[in-house]
Structure 1
Amino acid sequence: MTAPIETTKSAAEVQPEAVLTGAKQSQIEGRSLGRIAWTRFKRDKAAVAGGIVVILLVLLAILAKPIQAVFGLDPNALNQDLVDPQLLAPKGAWGGMSWDHPLGVEPGLGRDLLARIIEGSWVSLLVAAGATLLSVAIGTLLGVIAGYYGGWVDAVVSRLMDTFLAFPLLLFAISISAALQDGAFGLSGLPLRIGVLIFVIGFFNWPYMGRIVRAQTMSLRRREFVDASRSLGARGPFILFRELLPNLVAPILVYSTLLIPTNILFEAGLSFLGVGIAPPQASWGGMLTTAVDLYEVDLHYMFVPGMAIFITVLAFNLLGDGLRDALDPRSK
């Protein structure tokens, strides 16, 4: 007599996982690299908070003009009746804060600080984003070419990076911005100043991105997928833009988020020195310039634009740190 067949296990337990009829799809579904990175990013509460603040700041910059139109905020409107004519300080406590002026008013002229902060947000973010995009474009292109081809190409690009890094960037930016203030390239006024700032900050900062991309490319060019592409007859441009660049997205994205706050501070510094955004156009650096002259009258006026820059830079840094940890497969 043959031994009886054991039937204690259910049909779902004895079948292969691929043909399970009662298993849920989420139990056997694989996760993509993007989904894994998103899951790891969500665990970092500080990075999530920084990302939320960054999104709100971007929306504020994009919708600055509509917000001003809807709520009737004029960054250049004078409210001298709210300022003491002798002391030049705003009437009332905390810089003249009220329901009509939640952040107070500017000493001397009485301009609404909330309206000027909103107006300055799109200027600072536009300059920082444009300069970052220019730096990333130039640095990524030259860095990946130098890292992949090596030899004399790498030597030429590396010496070019060293040359740009040897420039005294701040003095160079001050001289160029001051020389082009009146008009150039058919532009004048605010568009010219924004364009000059984007060019000066972005064009002379690309070696930092170029060095990072070059080092990553030198590591990736020895990987198996590059050798496989070569064996199939792929040429240099195809390998650069179809094989290497997709694998460089993570470090480029992380460094870009860290470069934006640096450019915001650079723009604020140039505006603070008087060669950036010219008044009466509101900018966070320009507001700090005026605040330094009036800090004995009203210290509150220095606090408002200073906190705007501080929160923006902190949010971008937290977001960049979170992205770095989420996209790095070697991190815990």
Structure 2
Amino acid sequence: MTAPLDVSGQAMEAQPEAVLEGVGGKAIEGRSLGQIAWIRLKRDKAAIIGAFVVVFLTLIAIFAERPFGGLIALFGDLPNVPHNNLIDPMTSAPKAGWGGISLEHPFGLEPVNGRDLFARVLSGAQISLLVAFLATLVSVVIGALLGVVAGFFGGWVDTLISRLMDVFLAFPLLLFAIAIVGALPDQALGLQGNGLRISVIVFIIGFFSWPYIARIVRGQTLSLREREFVDAARSLGAGNGYIIFREVLPNLVAPILVYATLLIPTNILFEASLSFLGVGVNEPQASWGGMLTRAVDYYQIAPHFMIVPGLAIFITVMAFNLLGDGLRDALDPRAR
């Protein structure tokens, strides 16, 4: 059998697929949805930078103080150790350099008491990220469960949960948090001090923020419950619980993950706002919002005292927003 001829009468060359098939070439392997999303995410340089910053800040928050490691003591000063000898008694400002910045104190010193800003920023990262992660976890769990139940069952169940969402969305969350945290006793529910305050703040943010993610999950569930794989599961005798947790919820991981990364910076700002208003964690525990509160009185003699915690909040929130935007684009099945 001769090779096929083209229009000019010359023998046509074999196609690459035919050559590979003849020599036993490897078959082309498909890519999973996770691999496609990772390839898209790697192309977004801003999202990758945001992810590195988020991981870096998370590791710092975990290992900043004992019992997890003590990076503060290893690379800097302790957050609550005063250095009155480095403060000018006449102006209450650090004596040496711009804000007392030196190799021993890379971010400078607080006015009046001379506490190390580097150590206090790292210690404040623990509070901000702890509250943000735990509050987001509470919101995601409650919102995802109620949203998928409302969207899947519909009817009076959907109506009841939707009206409950409207009530929570109309609730003055900031005022409620200020009133509750400000009226807390020193000890309650087996907790005391800042441990009690952090627990109450996490509960308030998480319990009253779930309607935002519940609405997203409900809308996605309304579409998913009509898909073929749900009908196939029903035809095989699967119950509602199996369909919700094994068929519907796994298909909601992408929007839940994206919204969670965008909710974390909102919770960081909320905790900083409470601390700035004086109803967050108490001194001497460092918090970024509390540092900004004290900086208001000394910004003329020590402007770095306001700049350092302000930049910490800005960089952290920006990093989470960049990562959230990148995940949203990478996990979008319609994106190319």
TM-score range, shorter chain: over 0.9
Using the TM superposition, give the Cα deviation of residue 94 of structure 1 relative to its aligned residue in structure 2, in angstroms. 2.3
Using the TM superposition, give the Cα deviation of residue 237 of structure 1 relative to its aligned residue in structure 2, in angstroms. 0.6
- Mark the CA change 1:12 to 1:158 in structure 2 (over 3 Å): closer, same or farther: closer
Using the TM superposition, give the Cα deviation of residue 54 of structure 1 relative to its aligned residue in structure 2, in angstroms. 0.5
The residue number in structure 2 matching 1:6 is 3
CA distance in 2, matches of 1:277, 1:53: 25
CA distance in 2, matches of 1:299, 1:59: 28
SS of alignment partner, residue 253 of structure 1:
helix
CA distance in 1, matches of 2:145, 2:296: 41
The AA in structure 1 aligned to 2:136 is: T
Which string of whole-angstrom CA distances, capped at 9 and with x for unpartnered residues, describes residues 106-128 of structure 1? 01110000000111111110000
Using the TM superposition, give the Cα deviation of residue 187 of structure 1 relative to its aligned residue in structure 2, in angstroms. 0.4
- Mark the CA change 1:171 to 1:12 in structure 2 (over 3 Å): closer, same or farther: closer
The residue number in structure 2 matching 1:53 is 53
Using the TM superposition, give the Cα deviation of residue 75 of structure 1 relative to its aligned residue in structure 2, in angstroms. 0.2
Contact 2:76 2:119 in 1 (8 A): no
Residues 1-332 of structure 1 aligned to structure 2 (within 5 Å): 4-6=1-3, 13-14=17-18, 21-24=23-26, 28-65=28-65, 66-71=70-75, 73-332=77-336
Contact 1:216 1:248 in 2 (8 A): yes
Contact 2:76 2:105 in 1 (8 A): no
Contact 1:295 1:302 in 2 (8 A): yes
Using the TM superposition, give the Cα deviation of residue 324 of structure 1 relative to its aligned residue in structure 2, in angstroms. 0.1
CA distance in 2, matches of 1:288, 1:21: 70
Which string of whole-angstrom CA distances, capped at 9 and with x for unpartnered residues, describes residues 270-322 of structure 1? 01111111110001111111111221221110000000000000000000000
CA distance in 2, matches of 1:86, 1:284: 27
SS of alignment partner, residue 196 of structure 2:
helix
Normalising to structure 2: TM-score of the pair? 0.93
Contact 1:325 1:331 in 2 (8 A): yes
Contact 1:12 1:22 in 2 (8 A): no
- Mark the CA change 1:62 to 1:6 in structure 2 (over 3 Å): closer, same or farther: same
- Mark the runs of 5 or more structure 2 residues left unpaired by the alignment: 5-10
- Mark the CA change 1:234 to 1:101 in structure 2 (over 3 Å): closer, same or farther: same
The AA in structure 2 aligned to 1:53 is: V
CA distance in 1, matches of 2:259, 2:50: 15
SS of alignment partner, residue 99 of structure 2:
helix
Normalising to structure 1: TM-score of the pair? 0.94
CA distance in 2, matches of 1:176, 1:244: 37
- Mark the runs of 5 or more structure 1 residues left unpaired by the alignment: none
CA distance in 1, matches of 2:60, 2:221: 37
Using the TM superposition, give the Cα deviation of residue 132 of structure 1 relative to its aligned residue in structure 2, in angstroms. 0.2
Q: What is the root-mean-square deviation in Å for CA atoms of aligned residues?
A: 1.7
- Mark the CA change 1:13 to 1:211 in structure 2 (over 3 Å): closer, same or farther: closer
- Mark the CA change 1:20 to 1:221 in structure 2 (over 3 Å): closer, same or farther: farther
The AA in structure 2 aligned to 1:305 is: P
Contact 1:12 1:21 in 2 (8 A): no
Using the TM superposition, give the Cα deviation of residue 21 of structure 1 relative to its aligned residue in structure 2, in angstroms. 4.0
- Mark the CA change 1:280 to 1:167 in structure 2 (over 3 Å): closer, same or farther: same
Aligned length: 325
Which string of whole-angstrom CA distances, capped at 9 and with x for unpartnered residues, describes residues 179-222 of structure 1? 22422101001211111111011111111111111111111111
CA distance in 1, matches of 2:321, 2:241: 34
CA distance in 1, matches of 2:22, 2:29: 12
